[in-house]
Amino acid sequence: MKTQLALAVFLGGALLGGCSSKPDVSDVEEAIKEVWEPCRLVKPINIKKENGIDHGDRYQLAISYQIEIVRDIPRSDDMDRFLHQNCPLPTLVAFTTVLASNNTFVDNGLKKGQTFDVAVEFKLIKSENGWVFVE
């Protein structure tokens, strides 16, 4: 099952480089990595463009990727504390949302190398300096 995350909330107003006529993975890849960077438990991998729709004044870009667990997350009686120390808000909320949408819960622990599917849609407009995220 894929997750629909409103990553634009995290990216609010970010400016993307490039001057292509249509946005592509390269236009959002760095922003996706920046969203997950504060969380020392995961990294985004396999970022792919699934679809794009030109709406004239904006462009809708559908992206899929996975988050990969980068170290074992042991089962713990103090899981809440462990998670907050390793994956700060608001990234922790995104992480637990992805897990829940994949019918997985961190309370049982997770193994390094496990992956979880994510799907997100971005709305972008073209500016003089490249593509810009909009809500």
In a domain, residue 54? The reply is yes
- 8 A C-beta contact, residue 107 and residue 75: yes
Q: What is the pLDDT of residues 32-67, one digit of tens each?
A: 999 999 999 999 999 999 999 999 989 999 999 999
Report how many domains make up the chain.
1
What is the side-by-side strand order in the sheet with 59-69? 42-54, 59-69, 115-127, 130-134
In a domain, residue 3? The reply is no
pTM of the model: 0.83
Write out the residue range of the structural domain in which residue 50 sits. 8-134
In a domain, residue 2? The reply is no
In a domain, residue 67? The reply is yes
In a domain, residue 90? The reply is yes
